[in-house]
Amino acid sequence: MEYDIVREVDPEVADALTSEVDRQRSGLQMIASENHVSKAVLEAQSSVLTNKYAEGYPGKRYYAGCEHADTIETLAVERAKELWGADHVNVQPHSGTQANMGVYLAMLDPGDRILSLDLTHGGHLSHGHPANFAGQLFEVEQYEVDPETGYIDYEGLAEQADEFDPDIVVSGYSAYPREVEWDRIQAVADDVGAYHLADIAHITGLVAADVHSSPVGIADFVTGSTHKTIRSGRGGIIMCEEEFADDVDSAVFPGAQGGPLMHNVAGKAVGFKEALQPEFEAYAEQVVENARTLGETLQENGLSLVSGGTDTHLVLVDLRESHPETTGGDAEDALEEAGIVLNANTVPGETRSAFNPSGIRAGTPAITSRGFEEEEMRTVGDCIARVVDATDDESAIEEVRREIDALCEAHPLYED
């Protein structure tokens, strides 16, 4: 991956691209929302479809010359239906946030009410944060996890829904390590006559491989990202029952977006095909097993996990008890120096700021794509704990860096 053709035109960008390949290769990418897609997905995504406008949907486009775009979008849709068992699928959202926007625009009017999980408890900006369009266009109330257990407080949610009378209840989270009981949230929504949107952005791959229960067939709408655990082209996806299909499609285009990013849709189609192969199930199982092993190792080293563990691809470490003087930002910086790239994250009951919070979030999708298994995860967990214990100790960080270098060399990425 030398980017020679780019280099002839633009050496500065080529240098940055090759440096990014090196950065991804030489460190552990443990941001829970990231992954390493296959070369096939990369090739499809960088294809000539970036040149094509294809407003509309297969067979109903506003421009000529869309026959190959139609083939690819239809493949993406059909494969998605098979992966998640959905009646209707829209693969055009440019991102998970755009997918959520599509559902809100389809079903809500400005001023309608959203009930969603607070960002600091594991929710997402597009679920109604005041800095996001969702918080600006709609009236939002937020629920929280149980402060004792770190699990969704389903009973509290039901009481809150009763009082707030939302038009839509949003489930599915960005920093929630536990399996979600979709049917309990659906029951809450049903009781107050609200729609239920399950945003499975982080766990699309786990749901497709059946290692996390599926909200498809339970929630009215299921949205997701397509580049996280499902490891396909970058973007978003909406799934719903046939009765909402026209509303959702019109909300995405022309409601929220113009021309679809057809090169990304091609990446989605290829990634979905890969995810339909039997190996993908083993991959998704390993992602969860790796997160579990990581969590156990961190706990053995004295670190506290929100909810006491994980059922998913991520762990959320609350540093306040074990390392009261260390912020998530301190840990993130020191770990990056050691070659472990993850993010500082708010924790339930956050007492610091969103910019420099009290926790770190670590995910296993990308390193599992590199072939990491339990043995490596125990080493990674020990390494994280050693760095968190000594964020100012350059020699300790250097020692960990050497161990991470060895792990990276043993699990090469994007060879040749």
Residues at the site binding ligand DSN, with contacts judged by CB under 6 A: 33, 96, 124, 174
- Output 96 or 233, the one with its CB closest to ligand DSN: 96
Q: Which H or E element spans position 316? A: strand 314-318
Least distance to ligand DSN, CB of residue 64, Å: 35
CB of 85 to ligand DSN, least distance (A): 24
Give yes or no for a contact between 401 and 409, defined as CB atoms under 8 angstroms apart: no
Closer CB to ligand DSN, 27 or 56, in the complex? 27
With tokens 């959905």, the residue in question is 86
DSSP 184-204: HHHHHHHHTT-EEEEE-GGGH
Contacts of 306 (CB under 8 A, 6+ apart): 145, 150, 177, 316, 317, 318, 347, 348, 359
Q: How far is the CB of 313 from ligand DSN (least distance, A)?
A: 11
- For the bound state, the minimum distance from the C-beta of residue 175 to ligand DSN, rounded and expressed in Å, comes to 7
The residue nearest ligand DSN at its CB is 33
Contact status, residue 280 vs residue 268, Cβ threshold 8 Å: no
Nearer to ligand DSN, 30 or 44 (CB): 30
CB of 27 to ligand DSN, least distance (A): 17
Which residue's CB is nearer to ligand DSN, number 33 or number 160?
33
User: Of 160 and 232, which has the nearer Cβ to ligand DSN?
Assistant: 232
Q: Which amino acid does the sequence have at 37?
A: V
Shortest approach of ligand DSN to residue 124 CB, angstroms?
Answer: 6
Nearer to ligand DSN, 96 or 177 (CB): 96
- The answer for residues whose C-beta is within 8 angstroms of residue 55's C-beta and 6 or more apart is 61, 62, 63, 253, 254, 258, 259, 260
Residue given tokens 């969860």 in the structure block: 288
Q: Which amino acid is at 34?
A: E
**Nearer of residues 186 and 346 to ligand DSN, judged by Cβ:** 346
How far apart are alpha carbons 376 and 353 in whole angstroms?
A: 33
Q: Kindly tell me which of 96 and 329 has the beta carbon lying closer to ligand DSN.
A: 96
Least Å distance between CB 174 and ligand DSN?
A: 4
Asked whether the beta carbons of 233 and 45 are under 8 A apart, the reply is yes
Q: Which of 189, 192, 259, 175 is nearest to 221 (CA)?
A: 189
Instruction: CB nearer to ligand DSN: give 176 or 195.
Output: 176
For the bound state, the minimum distance from the C-beta of residue 14 to ligand DSN, rounded and expressed in Å, comes to: 27
CB of 202 to ligand DSN, least distance (A): 6
Element (H, E) at 343: strand 343-345
Q: What count of other Cβ atoms lies within 10 Å of the Cβ of residue 333? A: 15
Least spacing, CB of residue 24 vs ligand DSN, in Å: 16
- Write the DSSP string, 371-408: T--HHHHHHHHHHHHHHHHTTT-HHHHHHHHHHHHHHH
Nearest to 199 by CA among 79, 315, 33: 33
Secondary structure element (H or E) that encloses residue 114, with its range: strand 113-117
Give kind and range of the element (H or E) at residue 240.
strand 236-240
Whose Cβ is closer to ligand DSN: residue 56's or residue 102's? Answer: 102
